[in-house]
Structure formats: structure tokens, C-alpha cells
Structure 1
Amino acid sequence: MSRSNAVLTPESQTITSLDCDTDTRLKAITQLGIVEASAEQAFDDLTQLAAQICDAPVALVSVVEKDRQWFKAKVGFTPSETPIDQSVCAHALGSREMLVIPDLMSDPRTMSNPIVTGEPHIRFYAGAPLVTEDGIAIGSLCVIDYKPRPAGLTQKQVSALSKLADQVMAQFALRRALADREDLVAGLSRAHGRAAEERRRLTSMFQAAPSFMALLRGPEHVFDMTNAAYQRMVGGRDVLGRSVREALPDAAEQGFADLLDKVYRTGEVYQVEAALFASQASPEGPVDERYLDFVYQPLEENGEVTGIFVEGYDVTDRVWQIRRQEALSELGERLRDSNEVAGIATIAAEILAGLLGATRAGFGSVDLQNETVFMHPNWCAPGAEPVEGTYRFRDYGSFIDDLVAGRPVLIEDIAVDERTRDSENALAELGIRVLCNLPILEDGKLVMVVFVHHDTARQLSNDDLAFIRQVGDRAQAAIARIQAEKLQKVLNQELSHRLKNTLAMVQAIAGQTLRSVTEKDAVEAFNSRIHALSTAHQILLQENWSAAPIRNVVSGVVKTLNQSDRFALDGPDVVLGARAALSMTLVLHELATNAIKYGALSVEAGSVSIEWCIDHAEEDTFALTWTEQGGPAATEPDGRGGFGSRLIKMGLLGTGSTSINYGTEGLQAEMRAPLSQMQQI
């Protein structure tokens, strides 16, 4: 049953000394089949783990009955049970939350408890109740210390102790389920002697079952029954009436017969997931690697093990699907950081070789005019020779035609495929029986080949072929990204050059047009704003005109003033979208211009602090604060103010969320805007 990680302390709640519904609790204990028995490793391990996590000398799995509590598992504690009036765990039954008593001598419920006042003098207690699926507390998993702990447990220890208590209950439930399963299997064994008609009916169901099943008899594990799924799993071999070691020598060599011996000897169930079984139906035949989930269930008659029931599923497809997904995920991560075509080819080769169990893998540079390939140093399995140097494609078949067309080459047996069968000997000399080539194109032209070789024939499944094509597609997409980035860089440089010329022309035209204007300050302000835009443009260009780090934006404005030593910048790393970067540049430029003319930067001792942060109180909000110090008192402009004042009041992105304080120490302005809008490209 799920629980919270909340903790009950003496100050938080008063708890009765014992859960009032004792009969319900005793019934739950009986239903779970919990009995005092010899130590069980699973419970001992959980108790030991609780003691280690909580750094406690004592840990107990306590089951509370009517007049006593007894311990299913214990660490550092001698008694196997205590009377109910000495039980601290009983106090934990009144709530589904953890009970922590930092000092048992100070708590009125426990200060007179004999095991507190006398031996063994326990002083600290923390117990997570053991709660059934029906919400009934039957005991607790607790840790105890011989000295008080005013701070109790850390939150991580509380969480871990609660989860371990859940695992204790899971173990109880598992043992109940296994007991039920054993009853079911025993019933199946007794049904074996029923009437022939009943046996035929059961046999029909047995054969049609989707899981593979077999019934083994005696200490030699002689096959008594197998279903169709089991026969498929072992390659159609005749096994009935024969022992496992005789009928399946490959399984015996891999240790499966030894496991059967152990189950027969101990009577303990053996269960495993995704176990590798290399099935070889004949000594000369191919090896078929399968992955199996299965259980060996001992069968008993009159308390004696007489056989073993085998049941499981072939999960090979699932295992390989997971591996392919993991390989593609790894491929994506590695390709994301690669900026070279050769590096992408190497990564693709390594991923393919690792999943397909190749003999050799690597890449080669193609000279399309001469139809040759230069094989770079490549990865080889133990015992395989590398293939390096220059080779002519046509000496090894006609598959270059597919590569030139951009099609992957997947040849499962070079002796059979029409593209390579006439070149079988040449390929065999290189240790190639299975050939996989992925073309790498640049501007539609074949420039590189990723290759994977096997030295023995094998059949590539449809999933294998799909995986190979996916690797090729992703490698090609990564190369296309590199090419696009190179092109974008060229375009950005050209755009930068043209925009700089345009801004310079605007300034020149403005200079000529406004030459007769008597308000030189306005002309100067116009030119400086153009210069600020040029600075922001340069910063965005470095980031492909999509976004820019805020520190770069702020530093860019400060550097144009030639007074960087009078500014203090502080804030987290935040990436701004292009629109926000331009808006912030103009606003900071106006604030800096005003500070130079009228504010802190107009006097030698003045300085400016620019700080920014992310406010998580509600929706994530970006906040920037401009603070002037050491200058003259700030005064609010008359009327609406000029363009610069209006621009500042409009704030970031023109949202108008600006707070301005005209203080005696200088101007202070705070501007806020939703973070999502600030980062929007």
C-alpha cells in the first residue's frame, strides 16, 4: 500500500498505544500466511539495509499480535519477541505515517517502558508501519538507537525506510502468491492421473498455450511432456523420454541442467528474466541465440520433489527491440555532439558493429571518379584482420551502383547475392561473408561509405534491416545538419556584411540629412541608438541569429560606453531570444546614456549595478534590476519625457511591467517579463 513520507513526532499527534481493531489485524496476519519460522534471507537483507541507511545499530521487522510482538527479522537485537506492554512499534499502528520518537526517555508513552529504563536502554525509535493492500497495519519496520537523536532522520532516510517497509510487505505478499502457485502446480500434478479424456483436454490446452512449457520427471529431469512452443524453442528436437543432458547438450553446457539439479535438490523455485540460451540443434548447425523469461517450479508428492515444471516465454524480440532503441538513443546523443563527417561515419560504424556483433566495422573515403575507396583504420573483433588502404569497388562486385544511387547495400551471403557471387573468392580473402555498406552523400555525391562485415553467413531480420537503415538515415541527417550549419554560417557572414553596410549608410544619410539640425544632442542620440542596434546584431550573429546569452548582451552594451570598470553585472546564465536581446539592448542603452548625462556615471564616484534573476513564485518570470549608486539624486522627467524615457517605461519586450524609483542615491529600475516570452525565438 502506498504511503506518504510524512513523519509523526510526539509534537505532531497523540497516538493510542495500540490499534483498537486487533481482530482485523490478526486476520490480516493469518491471510498473509506470516508465521514464525527460521530466518529468511530476503527479510534479513531488508533489515540490514534499513540499519545501514539510517546508521542505526538495531533494525527490526516487527509483527504485532494481541499480547506480544515478534520479529520476523532483526539486526543488533537479541530477543525474538517482547510483551505488548514493552512494544514501541505498537504506537505506530494508529497511523499510516512514520513514527519518529527522538528521545524515548522524554516521551510520555515510552519513558517508563522497561526496555527504555532498563536493558537494553534504547533511546531513539523510528518505525514505518507495515500496511496491507487493505490498509491494515500489522507491524512496522523500525530502526533503534541507544542514544537520542534530536534531529531524528533525514528526509532521504525517511523516504528510504518507508520504501523498505513497502518491500517487506511485497515479500510477504510474494510468499503468499508463491504458496498459492505451489498449490496450483501441485493440483496440476495430481490431475495428471485423471481419466484419459480429461488428460486429452488438458493436453490440448497445454499444447496451445502461448508460453513454452515442459514437465520433467525424476532426478535426471526426463522429459514427460512438452508443448509446441517448447519444441520451437529447442529447434524441433526429439526430447520426450530423454534426460535434459542427453536431449539438450547445448543447454547442459550452459548450466541449465545444473540449475535443474539445484531446484530438484532444494525444492526452491528458480525464476529468471532475459536469460541467454544459445540453441544449437546439431553440432554442425548454426547457433541461434534466444533470450528467455522462465521459471523452474518443483513438483512434490507426499512432501518429496518428484519433478520440475518449466514455463516461460521467448522474449528475444523484446530484448533486441530494447537494445535497438538504446543503440539509436546512443547514436542520437553522440551524433548531436559531432561536427565532422568522418566522426559521424565512425560513430555509425561503432553502433552498427556493437549491435549486430560484427567481425569488422569502419568507414572509407570514396574516389568516385576512379571508383576506389580508401579504408581508414577500422575496428576488428578478436582474431579478425583489419582492411586498410585503397581498394577498387569493381574488384568485389557491382554493389557500387547502389551506393552511388544512395541506396544501402545489405548482402546476407556474398556467395548467393548476384552483386557479389562472381567475386566470392576476393571477398572471402578479406574475411567477408556478410556485407553491409551505408552510403554517405554530400550535395548528392557519394563521398564516404560506412561498412560492417561478418565472416560467417547470417540472416538479417526485417528488424535488423530497419535498424541499419535508421542508422544510415540518422547519420545522413547529421551530415546534412553540418552542411546546413556551414551554409548558414556563410549566409550569416554575408548578412552581417550587408547589414553593417546598411547601418553605416543609414548613419551617413542621417548625418547628411540632419547636418542642419541645431539640436545636436538628438542627432548624437540617434547615432548612438543605431550603434547599439549594430552591437546587438553582432552578438546575435555569433549565435546564428536565434538567441544569445544575457551576459553577452549586457556586456556588449557596457563595452560601447568605455566605462566597464564602473559596472557590476550579476545573474544566472539565461539565453534570450532575438527579439528580447534587441529590446534589452535598446533599454539598457537608454539607461546608460541617461546615467552618463544626469545620473551616477556623470560623476567620478558613481557606479551602476545590473542584476537579473528568474522568479519562480508563480509563472517563471525574468526580472532585471538597474541600480545607480554614488551619483546625484534622480529626478523624474517633466511631462511624458523624451523617446528614451518612454522606451524605458515600456520595459522589456514593451510589456510596460517596469517599476522606477527616483531615489536620493540615484535611479533604480526593475523590469519584469514572462521568461517564456524572453526566450522566444
Structure 2
Amino acid sequence: MTEADRLDALHAHNILDTAPEVGFDDIVRLATRLCDAPVALISLVDADRQWFKARAGFEPSETPIEQSVCKHAIGHRDLLVIPDLSMDARTRSNPLVLNNPYLRFYAGAPLVTPEGLTLGTICVIDHAPRPGGLTDGQADDLRALARQVMSLMEMRRLIASRGDLLLQAEQQRKKATHEHLELSAMFDQAPSFMALLKGPDHVFDLVNPAYCRLVGSRQLIGRTFAEALPDAAQQGYMDLLHEAYRSGQSFTQTGARYAIQTDPHSPVDERFVDFVCQPTRDEKGIVTGIFIEGSDVTEHVRQTRRTSALADLSEQLRDLSDANDIARAAAECLAQAIGGSCIGFGKVDLGHEKIEVPVDWCDASGVSVVGSHHFRSFGSYVEDLKRGETVIIPDVEKDPRTASQSDGLEIIHSRALLNLPIMVRGVLDTVIFVLNAQVREWTSEEIDLVRQVGDRTHGAIARARAEQEQHILNEELSHRMKNTLAIVQAIATQTLREVTERGAVTALTQRIGALSRAHDALLKTRWASAALQDVATATLAAFDQTGRFQLNGPTLQIGPRATLSLSLLLHELATNAIKYGALSVQEGQVAITWGIEKGDEEDILRMSWTETGGPPVHQPSGKGFGSRLISMGLIGTGGVELRYNQSGLIASMEAPLSQMQQP
């Protein structure tokens, strides 16, 4: 058969340039879902164009034949699949591939007449390549849809011609019925939930099993959305349907929350869904209903929450040092990830079977349980905890371990509970508890999350307690060291009381004092480092020259060695300034400035001591111990330049920043 025969057959169907029809529109919508593709077309290939009887996800109603991919399916009896249009010699120069909308994947099932003539295709298109093409199931579905299209076209042609035999019409009807049954089977088996609502009141006309599973065991068909699903209507979903019906525009939401309660006595089940509301139209283009399609993404949302909550908790635990703050952060983490009415940590007194709860987290329905409690006030499950077993109770009224204490548990709004023990050397040490105001089935993922939070929190609390004990020890050592330095200072004073050169004695005791003040500055950070400005302020404060020292420089931490060297250096400079320099007169001032500069290999700390307003100064003829201390510089290795100007002494000092910050 020739191309002319094919075109004659196409034109004989009298379908080109006709108005949209619901049957064809429904088929392309179903094709996008079955094949998980954003675009589906019923394409009829004419001599100089391809015209689309129905389309989803593609705006133009036709394209020139030069831009047609479907033309390559002409003559094929089975699917034409092109995994990547940009790599196929037949399509890589197509403007629709090179330019917007940048088509990449194509799969078309030919629309073949009983005579074997291909009129066009039903095709699905994606904007991303699909190296694997379609699955076997999707390929079979697309073939079935192609047969359904041809059935509709044949039925349309038969009705239009009015001269075809009634027998042929009956045969086509049976075939269409069979194809409809196939479509119904695919509709029922689809993993995504689907429902068709009719009219402005949104009456359920079709629902698939996945939709029924989502909303629970309810009567839907023939009932309005508001009647069948009042809980969904109260959550704003009725407003979305009204807007989609009124505007005729599709509506999409991702991760939408749907709190479902199938009856007043059942717990609320929080679900999350991705869905599309797609208006359906009649042959005149008038909206007749809404087709809903979507997926239950609850577990994905919950997993995302759990992962995010754990990451947030890890960030917080790095900065927290108080055990109560750590426990509070962990409780809030669990609240964010899995929810509950009251969540907290309790320290166990195993000998008295008591639990001490320092802090907890409660929602609007929760009752705080901060304080000391006897375990057996809540049931007999303490024996399970002692053995290191997690206690999972979905309903305290039905569990034999808690049934006798359910009234007491009701007072704290605990209808369900989860207790996870933390054992230390095989002995129960801490319990993480999650209380729920309603009956609740605890999932393995939730239990695993509680266990992860418990392990991290217990470790952080142990670290905080160890650091607190170390801090107390450091305070005691510091106190003793200060006493030792005071004793050394007293011994030096007493030992040297007969020395006639009192200046040397005073200098020695003052230097010991400078070391003591440097020690105090380091103690603030447990001898890890000290703020440079704090060191300078503490050292110079001993000279009782309020307002005569100006300090200016960036915030900077320096190590213990640099702290001691800097204290002695500033002490000697200040002592000399009081004796001979700017501080020997009332008008004198001293400016101490510092900053960090980029060096060839590493950053350099530069500090200057500048005296003004004092008498002219001269370089000393000798070099005593104080002068040698100054010449040793910021870290005891030199790097000092002294300029004795008429305006006053200027001391410029530098040292590698890395050495200044060495522990």
C-alpha cells in the first residue's frame, strides 16, 4: 500500500481539526500516568503536518511534518522507542529537540487500521533521556491504549458514516468494552491512588484500591467528597477541588499533610501525599469533573524529618555542655521527628526503683512529668527495662503490664508509651520515654530513631558530666597554684628583706604577680588559650594607671606559652614607662595596638607599644634582666624593634600567628 492509500484512510475518518473529545483526552492522561511521562499525544500524521487529537503536557495543537517524530513510526507495526532523541540520527536535528521544549525520550505505539495502514501514534515523551526505555508492562499498556484509540476512531467513523453495518458496530462495541475492561484493570492495579469526581459537588464516580487504602474503609461511590471525607474537607481539600472546577486549571501539591481519622475512637493518622487535581471536560470543553491522581509519600517525609532531626541534634550537642540542656535538645529532636505528648530522659535510681526527670518536652495535650517518680506507679514494666528490653505499649489499657495503672497514666495523658533503656556496664542507667495521648502503633523506624537519639544524648551527657568534673578539678588546681605563687611571692619577699637593693626585690615580686594574672586569664579557658586583650588588660591593670592605656586590635586567642611571654613583656614595658617614659608624667599616654598581616608563608601577628606625651627617651647604656625580657619578644624568640624617639618609646613586635596560638 502507498502513502496515498494511507492519507486516504486518514481523511476517511474525518477526524482532523475536530474539537476535543473526553474519550481521547482521558486516554492521554492515563498514558502519562501509566508510563510516568510528562507528555502524551494522540498524533495523526498528515501530508505536511502532524495534528494532535488529544494532548497532555504539550501546548501546540499541531507541528510541521519536519518537526514530527511520529512520522518515523509510519510503517511500523509495533512500538517505536527512541531512548535519547538528541543522539538518534533521525531526530537529533529536530527543532523540538534542539530548542524548547527540549524533548529527549520518545515511545510511540502506531495507530494501525484493520487494513494495516498507520494513521499516526499514541506516544509518550519525556524531557530527559531514558536509556532503559519503557518497562514491559508500560509497553503493553501503551499498545493497549493504541488499540483503544483505534477503537474510538473506528466507532467515530462508523457513527459518522451511518451506513456501516450494525454488526460491525456491535463488534467494535465489544472490542471497546474489552479494551475498557483492560483499562479498568490497569486503573485498579496502578500503584498511585486515583479517583474521578463528577459535577460541582464532586461526587465520587470512580476510585481505585490505592485511593481506598489511603482514606480507609469508607463508602465513596455516589457520595459527595464532603459527605464521604469530612475530615479532608475540613483540612481545606474541598476548597482546592472547588477552585480547580471553577478555573479549569490543574492543581498540584507535594508533601501535603492529610490527618485521617476513620472513626471518632481511632487515633489520628498523619499522612503526606503528592497529588494532582486535573479537571475533565466534555466534547465542548466544559469542565465536568475532577480526576485526582497521586502517591502516598508519608514514609519519605517521615524519613526526611528523622534525618533532619538527627542532623540538627548533632549540631546542637557539639555546643551544649549542660546535661539538662542536652536532654531538652534531645527531647525536642524526638518531638520534631516522631511527635508525642510528652518526651524526656530520666536518670534511674535502681536501688529504690525511682526515676528522676530533670526536664521534658510537652505538646498542647501533654502533662509535664518533671520530678521524681516510682517506676511501679506506672506499671510493672520496670522489670523489662532492667533486662535492657525496650518497652513498647500501643494501648496502656490493654497491656497487662500497665492495665492496673491506666487511671494514673491517664492523668498524665499517656494512653500509649515507649520506654527505651540505656544500659551502662549491663546496668539500667537512663530511660528515654515517649508518651502519647492516644492509642499508637510504634513503628520500627521510630524505635530505631529513639535508640539513635538515646545513644548520642547519653554520650553527650556523659561528656558534659566529665567536663564538669574536670572543670571542678581545674578550679581546685588553679586555687592551689595561686596559693603556691602567693607563697613563692611571700617567701621571696621574706628571703630578700635584708637586700638593700629594693628595686630588684620589687621587680621580682611584681613579675611573679604578672605570671599569676596570666594564669588567671588562661584558667578561663582551662589553659587552652586566652584572649589577647584580656591578657593585656589584666597585666596593665596592676599598674593603677586607669585611662592612660589605649588598647586596640581584633579579637584573638593566644596559647598558654604566648600568654605567659606577653604578660612578662607588657609588665616590663609598663614598668619602664612609669620609671622613665610616658607614664612618668601626668600627661603621658600609651597606645597598644595589634593586627594580623599576610606573610609570604603564614600570617604574622604585629603589635606595637607607642608612648606619647612623656619626656624624651634614650636607649639605656646597660642591659638588665628587664631589657632582656623585652628583647625576647612575644614568644621568647625575638622579633622586637625599639625606637627611642623624642616623642617617646615605640616598640614594634611580631611573631608567626601559628606560634602565638600553639597550645
Please give the range of the TM-score, normalised by the shorter of the 2 chains.
Answer: 0.5 to 0.7
Which string of whole-angstrom CA distances, capped at 9 and with x for unpartnered residues, describes residues 204-233 of structure 1? 9878877x252626424645474x765653
Which residue of the partner structure matches residue 468 of structure 1?
450
Q: Is 1:559 aligned with 2:559?
A: no
- The whole-number CA distance in structure 1 between the counterparts of 2:585 and 2:251 is 84
In structure 2, the CA distance between the partners of 1:570 and 1:431, relative to structure 1 (3 Å rule), is closer
In structure 2, the CA distance between the partners of 1:313 and 1:645, relative to structure 1 (3 Å rule), is farther
Pick from 587, 594, 619: which aligns with 2:569? 587
**Higher CA-based Rg:** 2
Displacement of 1:519 in angstroms is 8.0
Give the unaligned 5+ runs of structure 1.
1-172, 178-182
**2:537 is matched by which residue type in structure 1?**
S
Displacement of 1:290 in angstroms is 0.9
Displacement of 1:289 in angstroms is 1.4
Q: Is 1:483 aligned with 2:473?
A: no
Query: How big is the alpha-carbon RMSD for the aligned residues of Structure 1 and Structure 2?
Result: 5.1
Displacement of 1:202 in angstroms is 7.9
SS of the residue 2:514 aligns to = helix
Q: Is 1:216 aligned with 2:199?
A: no
Which string of whole-angstrom CA distances, capped at 9 and with x for unpartnered residues, describes residues 293-347 of structure 1? 2222334455333554434343323433444455556666877787765565556
Q: Is 1:627 aligned with 2:610?
A: yes
**2:258 is matched by which residue type in structure 1?**
F
Displacement of 1:581 in angstroms is 2.1
Displacement of 1:495 in angstroms is 1.7
Is 1:441–1:476's contact at 8 Å kept on the other side of the alignment? Answer: no
Pick from 260, 264, 274: which aligns with 2:241? 260
Displacement of 1:244 in angstroms is 4.9
- The whole-number CA distance in structure 1 between the counterparts of 2:265 and 2:627 is 89
Which residue of the partner structure matches residue 290 of structure 1?
271
Which residue of the partner structure matches residue 278 of structure 1?
259
Displacement of 1:487 in angstroms is 1.4
- The whole-number CA distance in structure 2 between the counterparts of 1:512 and 1:283 is 88
In structure 2, the CA distance between the partners of 1:429 and 1:662, relative to structure 1 (3 Å rule), is closer
Which residue of the partner structure matches residue 558 of structure 2?
576
- The whole-number CA distance in structure 1 between the counterparts of 2:551 and 2:387 is 56
- The whole-number CA distance in structure 2 between the counterparts of 1:528 and 1:658 is 23
Residues 307-326 of structure 1 correspond to what in structure 2 (within 5 A)?
307-324=289-306
In structure 2, the CA distance between the partners of 1:315 and 1:565, relative to structure 1 (3 Å rule), is same
Displacement of 1:652 in angstroms is 2.9
**1:371 is matched by which residue type in structure 2?**
E
Q: Is 1:455 aligned with 2:409?
A: no
Which residue of the partner structure matches residue 3 of structure 1?
none
- The whole-number CA distance in structure 1 between the counterparts of 2:212 and 2:329 is 40
SS of the residue 1:260 aligns to = helix
In structure 2, the CA distance between the partners of 1:495 and 1:379, relative to structure 1 (3 Å rule), is closer
Residues 590-629 of structure 1 correspond to what in structure 2 (within 5 A)?
590-614=572-596, 622-629=605-612
Which string of whole-angstrom CA distances, capped at 9 and with x for unpartnered residues, describes residues 478-535 of structure 1? 5334422431232112322443355456667877998999987666545443332221
In structure 2, the CA distance between the partners of 1:434 and 1:577, relative to structure 1 (3 Å rule), is farther
SS of the residue 1:632 aligns to = coil
Tell me the TM-score normalised to structure 1 length.
0.59
Displacement of 1:435 in angstroms is 2.0
**2:609 is matched by which residue type in structure 1?**
W
Displacement of 1:398 in angstroms is 3.2
In structure 2, the CA distance between the partners of 1:275 and 1:566, relative to structure 1 (3 Å rule), is same
SS of the residue 1:271 aligns to = strand
- The whole-number CA distance in structure 2 between the counterparts of 1:570 and 1:389 is 50
Which residue of the partner structure matches residue 514 of structure 2?
532
Is 2:341–2:366's contact at 8 Å kept on the other side of the alignment? Answer: yes
Is 2:365–2:437's contact at 8 Å kept on the other side of the alignment? Answer: no
Displacement of 1:175 in angstroms is 11
Which string of whole-angstrom CA distances, capped at 9 and with x for unpartnered residues, describes residues 6-34 of structure 1? xxxxxxxxxxxxxxxxxxxxxxxxxxxxx
Residues 10-409 of structure 1 correspond to what in structure 2 (within 5 A)?
193-194=149-150, 212-214=192-194, 216=196, 218-219=198-199, 220=202, 222-224=204-206, 226=208, 230=211, 232-235=213-216, 244=225, 248=229, 250-280=231-261, 285-300=266-281, 301=283, 303-324=285-306, 327=309, 341=323, 345=327, 348-349=330-331, 352-353=334-335, 356-360=338-342, 368-372=350-354, 391-401=373-383, 409=391
In structure 2, the CA distance between the partners of 1:579 and 1:350, relative to structure 1 (3 Å rule), is same
Deviates more, 1:267-276 or 1:543-552: 543-552
Give the unaligned 5+ runs of structure 2.
1-98, 104-122, 126-141, 152-174
Is 1:349–1:451's contact at 8 Å kept on the other side of the alignment? Answer: no
In structure 2, the CA distance between the partners of 1:287 and 1:563, relative to structure 1 (3 Å rule), is closer
Is 1:214–1:223's contact at 8 Å kept on the other side of the alignment? Answer: no
In structure 2, the CA distance between the partners of 1:407 and 1:517, relative to structure 1 (3 Å rule), is farther
Deviates more, 1:250-259 or 1:387-396: 387-396
